[in-house]
Each structure stands twice: as structure tokens, then as C-alpha cells.
């Protein structure tokens, strides 16, 4: 789901992508432009430069050419063409011909546009007066991108840019981007020794270094405390699971390209094999195992709602080209919970989740957030009645909790509608964190259909495993679909549960990547890896510094004694660089009086206080998580 933006801004950015294409084709004869959509905060255009290599050093030259061309672009002219006409008009551009054939095959109209001296194949959606409206632009970076996002296709060159309606908006955005570069969690992760990745461990797998591990442990304990307080039962589940479970849940056919390859189970000699061979996979989600815990014994309506939670690690394949530090990974720990309830408990449960989200986001300084309710897609499971009930429940719960929400029509997943919560960080950037999701698939029980068999038979893994469609059909009939998640109601009858998925952080990896940038690496006191460092002015005060350190640690503060043989000022600068909340300088006077000279992060001198007074202040701030 993209972030909605005003249509005129979308048109402005799309139009500027055309201007970029024109400038590049003039500067680099023989290059081909592919696609150039509007995106959040800007646009991009993909090019095939042939053997020519360009870099960000070339962007000023391209910008200059764009400004040279712009005055001649007074308006766009549009014309509908046939496929044969399109092939002739763009005979030198294989990318445009491929798109034209595809669009025509889908029954779409083929439209060209021309601002005066540049014919392109494109749908409608442009500004009325380009020369006046498109003046405030900037090209930002160069990257590689596979044609149509497919690694089997040719690698193209993608040029990114941004454009705004006023120079002030452009300047503000560029300043924000400069600050974002300074706060990049990958940069700060290295500078502050927080995390790393390497090829031996594996791409997209995060190594949490001791400092960040401390912060994670503190946040996870807060998460556990809040969930116990709100009636959740926390569990652990394995990292691998039978492939059959994900066939039964239908995750495997939908998400097989995101799952790591099947591991075939080898039977010990003499061991009797089951009717069908069991294979195992790294789990891509936790929900089917939570269902198994629910179903471990019969459940009464008196036990509902039952809230099962887990900080569960899952594994999903992401292409190497989209991996990005901690925010796009292959192994991650979800703060995953599943609520099993009756229909009349639904609104109350969704409200409770939204209340939790509000409290959690406020704690981390995310005061500005927006809800997006995704409704029924074209292909879906469950009845219309179930979808209408669930969508209405989400709207009522969001309204009751005073969440402003927007509707994303048709963007729900096949098994149910959802609410996504996006928050704005300290730089005003929007991030998706929490999700509340209905599930009409897994709690159900159904026979495998011909459509199911067709869907699985298209998968190479299943053709190799079962050899024939008949074998696959037999297997799917035995497996069935759904887990039949039920409870005994007060009338003694078995009834199907309503199942709600939810996360608050999303994943610990991504959440901490966001937090590092949100705080600029300067974690608040309660979660800071090192909360205070004692800095003796000279080695003569080291004995007293050790005494202070002991008092701090006894009180539960994470502290260190920095008594290295270097100047006090160097040690203070080091503490500032590492973004330690407090520096406690001790000299002869402090040692004699049992005090510390307190210097807060950001070169703030807070004066001289007794050690016990400093400890008291810190404990109060930590208790309030300030």
C-alpha cells in the first residue's frame, strides 16, 4: 500500500519524470527510457544506457539540460493509438513495445503524450502547464533496477528525483534528507557499534552487538510487562515446522516465493514412514503454531477471548537488491499475537489493541499516526457477510479510539481486512508499524478444491515432489484446508472462533532500525545501552570513581568507569560521540564531598550533586521511562 498524496502532486512528479527522460535522451543518444512513475516524495525514471555508465556526478549536467528544455513545454498533448501504430512510433525502444503489447493484451487503451518535442507512451495524469509548474525539482541519486523488478531481466539505471510546488517545500525536503543521511541507521550502527551484517552469517541476517542487545532486552521486557498486564499469555514456538502445516493454512501456495526452500526429512533406517513424506521449512509466520496451542485441548467460551503472544523469529526470502540494513531483512522477530474470540467480543478486542498501540507509540515519541483500513480484494476467502462484519468492526473500533482512518479499497489480503498504523518519526517520515488483521481462512475447515489443486500444481516444488496431479490431489484431500478453530458455546454447541492477528512494533529488527534514526542514535535514558559513565579527572580519583560506579550499578544503572590514560576532555568527547546520557566527572573536591559533577548529553552542565541524589533522579526517570 502506498502513501496517498494529492493528485496534483502525483501528476507534477510524473510529468517531471518525462522531463528527465527527455533530457537524458538528448544527452545520451541511443539510450532508452523505460518507466517513470511518481513515488512518495518524488519520481524516478529507468534507463537502458547500453555500455555507458553514469553516476551521481552526472546529475548536475542532466538537471541543467532539464532546465534548458523546460521553457518549451507549455502543455501535454494526448493521442490514442493502436498497437501497430505504437510499435511503429517506438520501434527503437523495446521497453515501450513490450509495455504496449502487454497493455493491449489486457484491453487497455494505448495513449501517447507529447509536451511539444518528446513523444512517449504513457497514461493520462500530467500537469496542465509544465513550464510554470515544474520549476522546483532536484535529481537525488542513481541506482540499479532490474526491468520489471525481475532478476532474470536486464539491469537498468534508475535515476531518482524530487519536485515540489514551491522552492520552500523543495528546500525543506532537501534539508530533511540531509538530516536523514546523518541519522541513517546503517551509518550510526557502525559508528556506535550497535549491529552488523556479513556474508558469512548470511545476507539480511542481523548480528545484534552488546549495546543494541541491551536496548532490545529492555524494550522486550517492557513489551512482556505490558502484555501480561493486558491479559496476554506468552509462548515460544520452534523455528522450523512441517511443510504440511503451511499447506493446510494455504500460506505456502500464496507465499512460496518468500519462503526458504523445503528441507526433506530423511527417515532413519527401520523407521516407518507416514502415508505422505513430511518435509520441513523455516517458518515464515507464527500464526499456525499459535493455533496448535489453542487447539491442544477443547476450549470453552468462558476462556475467550484468549490472547496468545510471542516474540517469534521468522524467516522470509527477500531479494538481495532490496535488503536494507535492519529495515529490510530475511530473518526477523515479530512481536506477534493472535486473539481468539467470539463475534460479540471483536470490537472490544480491536479497541484494546488500538489502545495498546497508542500507549506504546507515545512512549517512543511517535505522537502523529494515521490508520489505513484495507477492504475486500477481488479474490478473497469467506463470505461477504463475514467481510462486511469485519470491515465495519474495524471502522467502529478505530472511531471509538479516535483514530483518524483512511480507506484503502481492495487492499485487504485474501483472508481478511486489516488496519495498518503508520507513524511519523522525528523527521516527519511515515513508517508502517502496527497491524490488526482478521483471518477467515485458518479458523475454518474446508475440503481442498480443484482450484486448490490447480494452484499447487503450478508450483515446481509440488510437481517434483508428487510427480502427478493425481498424487497431489490425494495429498491435498488428506491435508484439507484450515484448522477448524472452535470453542464450545454456552448452548453446548461447537462454534468457529474469530481469529485476529496483530503486531505493534512489526518486527524488532525494523523497529530498532526506525528508532535509531528517530532518536539519531541518542536513546532515552531507560533504554540507553550505557546510561552513565564516571570520568575521574586523574588516576588519583580512580578509587573514588570505582566507589561511585559500584553505587550506580547496585542501584540498577548501566554504568562504566572511563579511567583511560587520556585527557578528561577526550573522554567527554568520546561519551558525547557515543551518545551516553550522563557523564559524571569526579576530581579531588567531588571525592572529598561524595559528589559528582553531572554533565548531560548535549554538553549540558547540570551542576554538582550527591551521588544518591543523582541515582534518585535517574531511577525516577527510568520508572517513568523518560
For 545-560, what is each residue's pLDDT tens digit?
999 999 999 999 999 9
pLDDT tens-digit readout, 174-226: 999 999 999 999 999 999 999 999 999 999 999 999 999 999 999 999 999 99
For 312, which DSSP code?
E
Q: Which helix (H) or strand (E) holds 243?
A: helix 243-248
Asked about 334 being catalytic, the answer comes back as yes
Give the separation between CA 38 and CA 56, rounded to whole angstroms.
20
Q: Are 579 and 516 in contact (CB under 8 A)?
A: no
Asked about 338 being catalytic, the answer comes back as yes
**Segment among 106-120, 181-195, 251-265, 564-578 with least mean pLDDT:** 251-265
Give yes or no for residue 19 having a pLDDT over 90: yes
Report the number of secondary-structure helices (H) and strands (E) in the chain: 21, 28
Q: How high does pLDDT run on average in the chain?
A: 92
Give the separation between CA 551 and CA 540, rounded to whole angstroms.
19
Give the separation between CA 282 and CA 571, rounded to whole angstroms.
46
Which of 242, 249, 253, 328 minimizes the C-alpha distance to 282? 242
What confidence score (pLDDT) does residue 413 get? 84
Instruction: Select which of 13, 22, 216, 316 is catalytic.
Output: 316
Q: Are 441 and 250 in contact (CB under 8 A)?
A: yes
Instruction: Select which of 338, 376, 465, 579 is catalytic.
Output: 338
At 305, list the grid cell: 477471548
Give the separation between CA 436 and CA 498, rounded to whole angstroms.
13
Instruction: Select which of 185, 481, 501, 571 is catalytic.
Output: 501
Length of the chain: 626
At 325, list the grid cell: 540494513
Report phi then psi at 391, rounded to 5. Answer: -65, -40
Instruction: Work out the average pLDDT over 76-100.
Output: 93
Give yes or no for residue 123 having a pLDDT over 90: no
Q: Are 422 and 370 in contact (CB under 8 A)?
A: yes
What confidence score (pLDDT) does residue 207 get? 98
Instruction: Select which of 45, 334, 437, 541 is catalytic.
Output: 334
What confidence score (pLDDT) does residue 117 get? 86
Band (516; pLDDT cuts 50, 70, 90): very high
Instruction: Select which of 10, 244, 336, 425 is catalytic.
Output: 336
More confident residue, 254 or 449: 449
**Domains in the chain, CATH or no CATH each:** 7-183 (3.30.980.10), 207-262+280-446+481-518 (3.30.930.10), 522-623 (3.40.50.800)
Asked about 46 being catalytic, the answer comes back as no
Asked about 168 being catalytic, the answer comes back as no
3-class secondary structure, 458: coil
Count of other CB atoms within 10 angstroms of residue 486: 18
pTM given for the model: 0.86
pLDDT tens-digit readout, 46-65: 999 999 999 999 999 999 99
Asked about 16 being catalytic, the answer comes back as no
Give the separation between CA 179 and CA 521, rounded to whole angstroms.
13
Q: How far is CA 448 from the centre of its chain?
A: 33
What confidence score (pLDDT) does residue 258 get? 83
Which of 37, 76, 93 minimizes the C-alpha distance to 101? 93
Instruction: Select which of 418, 422, 510, 558 is catalytic.
Output: 418
Instruction: Select which of 122, 287, 341, 618 is catalytic.
Output: 287
Residue 108, C-beta contacts closer than 8 angstroms, at least 6 positions apart: none
Amino acid at each position: 500500500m502506498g502513501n496517498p498524496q494529492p493528485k496534483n502532486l502525483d501528476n507534477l512528479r510524473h510529468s517531471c519524470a518525462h522531463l528527465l527522460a527527455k533530457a537524458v535522451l538528448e544527452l545520451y543518444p541511443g539510450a532508452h527510457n523505460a518507466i517513470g512513475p511518481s513515488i512518495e516524495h518524488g519520481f524516478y525514471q529507468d534507463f537502458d544506457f547500453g555500455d555507458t555508465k553514469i553516476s551521481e556526478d552526472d546529475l548536475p549536467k542532466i538537471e541543467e539540460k532539464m532546465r534548458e528544455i523546460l521553457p518549451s513545454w507549455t502543455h501535454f498533448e494526448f493521442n490514442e493509438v493502436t498497437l501497430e501504430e505504437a510499435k511503429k512510433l517506438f520501434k527503437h525502444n523495446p521497453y515501450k513495445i513490450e509495455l504496449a503489447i502487454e497493455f493491449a493484451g489486457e484491453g487497455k487503451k494505448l495513449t501517447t503524450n507529447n509536451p511539444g518535442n518528446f513523444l512517449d507512451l504513457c497514461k493520462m495524469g500530467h500537469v496542465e502547464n509544465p513550464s510554470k509548474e515544474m520549476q522546483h525539482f532536484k535529481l537525488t541519486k542513481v541506482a540499479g533496477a532490474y526491468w520489471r523488478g525481475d532478476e532474470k531481466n536486464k539491469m537498468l539505471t534508475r535515476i531518482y528525483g524530487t519536485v515540489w510546488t514551491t522552492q520552500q517545500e523543495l528546500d525543506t525536503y532537501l534539508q530533511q534528507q540531509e538530516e536523514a543521511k546523518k541519522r541513517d541507521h546503517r551509518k550510526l550502527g557502525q559508528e556506535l557499534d550497535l549491529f552488523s551484517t556479513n556474508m558469512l552469517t548470511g545476507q539480511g541476517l542481523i548480528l545484534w552487538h552488546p549495546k543494541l542487545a541491551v536496548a532490545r532486552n529492555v524494550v522486550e521486557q517492557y513489551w512482556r510487562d505490558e502484555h501480561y498486564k493486558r491479559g496476554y499469555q506468552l509462548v515460544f514456538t520452534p523455528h522450523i515446522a512441517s511443510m504440511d502445516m503451511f499447506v493446510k493454512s494455504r500460506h505456502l501456495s500464496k507465499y512460496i516465493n518468500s519462503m526458504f526452500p523445503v528441507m526433506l526429512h530423511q527417515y532413519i533406517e527401520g523407521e516407518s514412514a507416514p502415508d505422505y513424506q513430511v518435509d520441513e521449512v523455516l517458518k515464515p509466520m507464527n500464526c499456525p503454531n499459535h493455533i496448535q496451542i489453542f487447539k491442544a485441548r477443547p476450549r470453552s467460551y468462558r476462556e475467550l477471548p484468549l490472547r496468545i503472544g510471542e516474540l517469534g523469529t521468522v524467516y522470509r526470502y527477500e531479494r538481495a537488491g532490496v535488503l536494507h540494513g535492519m529495515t529490510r531483512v530475511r530473518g526477523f522477530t515479530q512481536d506477534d499475537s493472535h486473539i481468539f474470540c467470539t463475534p460479540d467480543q471483536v470490537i472490544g478486542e480491536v479497541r484494546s489493541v488500538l489502545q495498546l498501540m497508542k500507549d506504546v507509540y507515545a512512549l517512543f515519541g511517535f505522537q502523529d499516526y494515521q490508520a489505513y483500513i484495507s477492504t475486500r480484494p477481488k479474490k478473497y476467502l469467506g463470505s461477504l457477510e463475514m467481510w462486511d462484519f469485519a470491515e465495519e468492526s474495524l471502522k467502529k473500533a478505530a472511531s471509538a479510539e479516535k483514530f483518524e482512518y483512511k480507506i484503502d479499497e481492495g487492499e485487504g489480503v485474501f483472508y481478511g481486512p486489516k488496519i495498518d498504523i503508520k507513524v511519523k518519526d522525528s523527521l516527519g517520515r511515515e513508517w508502517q508499524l502496527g497491524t490488526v488483521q482478521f483471518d477467515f481462512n485458518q479458523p475454518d475447515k474446508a475440503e481442498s478444491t480443484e482450484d486448490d489443486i490447480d494452484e499447487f500444481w503450478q508450483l515446481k516444488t509440488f510437481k517434483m515432489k508428487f510427480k502427478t496431479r493425481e498424487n497431489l490431489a490425494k495429498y491435498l484431500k488428506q491435508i484439507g484446508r484450515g484448522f477448524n478453530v472452535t470453542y464450545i458455546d454456552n448452548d453446548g454447541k461447537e462454534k468457529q472462533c474469530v481469529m485476529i492477528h496483530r503486531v505493534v512494533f512489526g518486527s524488532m529488527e525494523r523497529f530498532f532500525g526506525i528508532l535509531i534514526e528517530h532518536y539519531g542514535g541518542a536513546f532515552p535514558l531507560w533504554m540507553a545501552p550505557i546510561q552513565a559513565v564516571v570520568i575521574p579527572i586523574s588516576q588519583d580519583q580512580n578509587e573514588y570513581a570505582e566507589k561511585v560506579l559500584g553505587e550506580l550499578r547496585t542501584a540498577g544503572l548501566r554504568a562504566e568507569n572511563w579511567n583511560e590514560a587520556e585527557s578528561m576532555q577526550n573522554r567527554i568527547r568520546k561519551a558525547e560521540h557515543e551518545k551516553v546520557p550522563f557523564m559524571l566527572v569526579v576530581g579531588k573536591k567531588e571525592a572529598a564531598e561524595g559528589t559528582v559533577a553531572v554533565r548531560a548529553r548535549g554538553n549540558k552542565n547540570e551542576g554538582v550533586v550527591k551521588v544518591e541524589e543523582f541515582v534518585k533522579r535517574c531511577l525516577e526517570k527510568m520508572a517513568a521511562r523518560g
